[in-house]
Structure 1
Amino acid sequence: MQGTPEARQTISTGATTGLSIAALLLLWIVAAALTDDAQVLPQPWALIQPFLRELTSGELLYHLGATLLRVIWAFSLAMLAGCALGLVMGRYPRVNQWLDPWLVIFLNLPALVLIVLCYLWIGLNETAAILAVVFNKIPNVATVIREGARALDPQIDAMAKVYRMSGWARLRHVTVPQLAPFITAAARSGIAVIWKIVLVVEFLGRSSGVGFQIHLYFQLFDVAMVLVYAFSFIVVMLMVEWLVLQPWERHVRRWRAE
């Protein structure tokens, strides 16, 4: 029994992913052997003991949880605000003319500047940390959704008006399904950027989280612990990518295969 084409495709993709990660791991081993200095680049197995120590002490889970909570808040707020802004700009050219210069400015404003300004204006607190990430991501989301709003089929919109659909029903059944691929693209790129900015925010001004721990061990010149915390959170975000975002993307694109 060979299984369905979808199952074979999933197995093939999984095998390719596994081989790719194995090749990256082999490259790491070779680079560490050539360096021959654990303080510069330790071997992968040298991270097992410090990882288990941080895990059993509860420190790793505590800081992973703090960072993940900030990522969830920042991602949710940035997606909601960015989608609303992008939809309005894409549907109303006059609004787009006014707001497009703002969008260009914020797209080119360095993330570090917004982070520092939020800390200076609001203070070294959670509100400033999350808003700094949100303000950095909203322009990117809005840009993607704006292009999706411009690509909406006017004939489908006209049909919705003929059937006298309410504004909420039109948004739910006409607009959002057409925007789904663009929302997915914004979400996938957004989660990848947001968690990196969150680490910078924690590095500069928080007392918990993966970024804070990386800052701590950077000051101690402990490369192994920096890698332990970095790779631990990378694994978490890869699980989010593989278990949430990729299945969601396949779901919203399923109609193309029909």
Structure 2
Amino acid sequence: MKAPSARTRRSLAAQFYSLLGVVALVGVWAYAATRMEPYVLPAPWTVASRMWELIATGDVLHNFLMSFWRAVLGWGIAVVAGSVIGFLMGRYRYARSFFHDLIYLAANVPLIVYAIVAIVVFGISGMGPTSVVVLFVLPSIALNVAAGMMSVDQDLVGMSKAFNRSRFQLLKHVLIPTVTPFAFAGGRVSFADSWKLAALVETFGGDSGVGYQISRSYHLFSVRDLLAWMGFFVIFVVLVERLVLVNVEHRLFRWRNEAPPRQRRRDRRRGPVTDPKPVAGGEVGADLLVDGAARRGVGA
């Protein structure tokens, strides 16, 4: 019988410790529940029973579909618009000057202000959470894509021009491979943020969705329902991360596994494929973006 590879053993060990952390958390929760009144902190099995009841009634599916649609729609709009803006900011000085103050403004407005304005403008509707997700996520996407554009090796660009490569070939073989890790890192973090943003706005002014159900549980002082909806929220985010985003990452960066063994070992020591950290929106991120581009001489 063939022994499992080192990679398989590492994967199994990571899954074991992840499960061990969950078991430890549930154990601490169960012990704390024995020291408090049930209406203050219900036991894990009580919350699990309530979660099953919500699944059986269909409330979970309906409310999650509403929150999912609002979060994904806003995130998708922000990714498309932010990628275009980030590409222009990373490529052209005039575009950086044009968008700098707008990105700075959008990134530094407090989230609570966005939520209140969305409720005032759109009322209790699905447009409120969607608009907040767009406004809050777009600056992060734009800054990450712009940072990726600024990291493009100008020697490769010059070499492509010297060999008369077309703009499409330059985009496909130089620009996109360089920008993809930055864009994926920003998109991965912002996708999780989109759920939290949509739920927050639904909590303040919504008539459906996970955030609305959490707010309703709070007003009814039902800690059991509150923890049940929080549990659904956490489970869904973890499943999306483990089943969707991880597989997308492996497909996008499959070329890393095709490198020579020595190169793969060096890459593992350096860190994951999404090493570029998401650039935080705000004064520091925007100023570093513009100053760095000026020093590198990128742009028209």
**TM-score of the superposed pair, with normalisation by structure 2:** 0.79
Higher helix share goes to which structure? Answer: 1
CA distance in 2, matches of 1:207, 1:164: 58
Structure 1 residue runs without a partner (length 5+): none
The aligned residue for residue 191 of structure 2 is: 191
Deviation, 1:169, is: 4.2
Counterpart code for 1:187: G
The aligned residue for residue 4 of structure 2 is: 3
Deviation, 1:155, is: 2.4
Counterpart code for 1:206: G
User: What does residue range 103-182 of structure 1 map to in structure 2 within 5 Å?
Assistant: 103-182=103-182
Deviation, 1:115, is: 2.1
Deviation, 1:54, is: 1.0
The aligned residue for residue 291 of structure 2 is: none
Contact 2:129–2:197 (CA under 8 A) maintained in structure 1: no
Contact 1:67–1:209 (CA under 8 A) maintained in structure 2: yes
The aligned residue for residue 61 of structure 2 is: 61
CA distance in 1, matches of 2:6, 2:157: 35
CA distance in 2, matches of 1:87, 1:33: 56
CA distance in 1, matches of 2:207, 2:70: 13
Deviation, 1:97, is: 2.7
Deviation, 1:241, is: 0.5
Deviation, 1:163, is: 4.7
Counterpart code for 1:139: P
CA distance in 1, matches of 2:163, 2:75: 36
The aligned residue for residue 82 of structure 2 is: 82
The aligned residue for residue 23 of structure 1 is: 24
Using a 3 Å threshold, how does the CA distance of structure 1 residues 42 and 11 change in structure 2: closer, same or farther? same
Structure 2 residue runs without a partner (length 5+): 260-300
CA distance in 2, matches of 1:164, 1:125: 53
CA distance in 2, matches of 1:25, 1:164: 62
CA distance in 2, matches of 1:31, 1:251: 43
CA distance in 2, matches of 1:162, 1:7: 45
The aligned residue for residue 216 of structure 2 is: 216
CA distance in 1, matches of 2:206, 2:163: 53
- Secondary structure of 2:178 counterpart: helix
1:63-116: CA deviations, max 9, x gaps?
Answer: 111111212212211111112211211111332133222222221211121122
Deviation, 1:137, is: 0.8
How many residue pairs get aligned? The number is 257
Deviation, 1:166, is: 4.2
**TM-score of the superposed pair, with normalisation by structure 1:** 0.91
Counterpart code for 2:200: V
Contact 1:213–1:229 (CA under 8 A) maintained in structure 2: yes
Contact 2:74–2:131 (CA under 8 A) maintained in structure 1: yes
Using a 3 Å threshold, how does the CA distance of structure 1 residues 169 and 126 change in structure 2: closer, same or farther? farther
CA-based RMSD of the aligned residues comes to: 1.9
